[in-house]
Structure 1
Amino acid sequence: MVPFTFTENSPSYDASNVFYARIDPEASSADELLKSLYYILWFPGYFGFNWDALYDCLRDLSWIPCEKVVLVHESLPKLKKEDLRVYLEVLRDSVLDWRVGEEHVLEVNFRSRDEYVIRSILSKKV
């Protein structure tokens, strides 16, 4: 299952109700992406700058006042194939782990043009 939203254009939301984070499309390494996410998602100082820490923080989000948190990707990050797979898996697992009635709702948005690639990556068994 791929629990992401795919759209032709960037979605728009009422900023008073939604924490909207645009993911840096120029991130070309896992380190760059994790550093960017640290700043745009206001991660706590204990963030470990690795995939496990990203998952942990995406499953907490207690420091963000809005119930809904939306991550918008204008394009896929320019990561190595393995890093991109892990990043997408972390996003997928984080979205799927939030339950109705919990403190936050996490939505991850990608452009429609990237849907096939994302589904292909996530369907491969490693």
Structure 2
Amino acid sequence: MNNFKFSENIESYLVSAKDIFISKIASGIKTRDELFTSLYNTLLLPGYFGFNWDALFDCLRDFHWIDEYLVIIVHEDLPTLSEEELRIYLHLLADACLDWKIDEEHKLEIVFPESVRCKVEHLLSAD
């Protein structure tokens, strides 16, 4: 789970700092469309974003529209998607994080509340 972090204090990640772009994914997301819309709005995704898993992965591997080096996606809670869609989302995030190399112009980190650590780890290891 490279670059996945779990925190008791999610608010500490929401403090702006130099060279950090923060995307806050609010709690209460219940559908894939709500998740895509939240990511579109908070990551300032380009207008050509296709609102599907492939398009999300492509955008999480580009960030040419973001000036800051570190991009952090902070989840207030785990989206309440179906287990299959949640597994897809978590694997997509993990793969996107792993795909960024040290010498590239961005780094991606993902933050979840500590309270969902077991569920995230279970879903990522259940395959």
Q: Give the alignment's TM-score, normalised by structure 1.
A: 0.93
RMSD: 1.1
Of residues 11-20 and 41-50 in structure 1, the stretch that sits farther from structure 2 once superposed is 11-20
Q: Could you tell me which runs of 5 or more consecutive residues in structure 1 were left unpaired when the two chains were aligned.
A: none
Match of 1:107 in 2: 109
Deviation at 1:20, TM superposition (A): 0.8
Alignment of 1:5 onto 2:16: no
Residue type of the alignment partner of 1:8: E
| 1:102-122 C-alpha deviation (Å, 9 max, x unpaired) | 010101001111111001000
Match of 2:45 in 1: 43
Alignment of 1:63 onto 2:65: yes
Match of 2:55 in 1: 53
Of residues 2-11 and 89-98 in structure 1, the stretch that sits farther from structure 2 once superposed is 2-11
Of the three residues 25, 28, 31, the one matched with 2:30 is: 28
Supply the distance in 1 between the matched residues of 2:18 and 2:114 (Cα, whole angstroms). Answer: 26
Q: Provide the secondary structure at the position in 2 that maps to 1:108.
A: strand
Residue type of the alignment partner of 1:63: W
Residue type of the alignment partner of 1:117: K
Q: Could you tell me which runs of 5 or more consecutive residues in structure 2 were left unpaired when the two chains were aligned.
A: none
Residue type of the alignment partner of 1:5: K
Match of 1:116 in 2: 118
Supply the distance in 1 between the matched residues of 2:29 and 2:77 (Cα, whole angstroms). Answer: 10
Of the three residues 85, 88, 94, the one matched with 1:86 is: 88
Deviation at 1:16, TM superposition (A): 3.1
> CA contact under 8 A between 1:59 and 1:98: conserved in structure 2?
yes
Q: Give the alignment's TM-score, normalised by structure 2.
A: 0.93
Deviation at 1:96, TM superposition (A): 0.6
Deviation at 1:27, TM superposition (A): 1.2
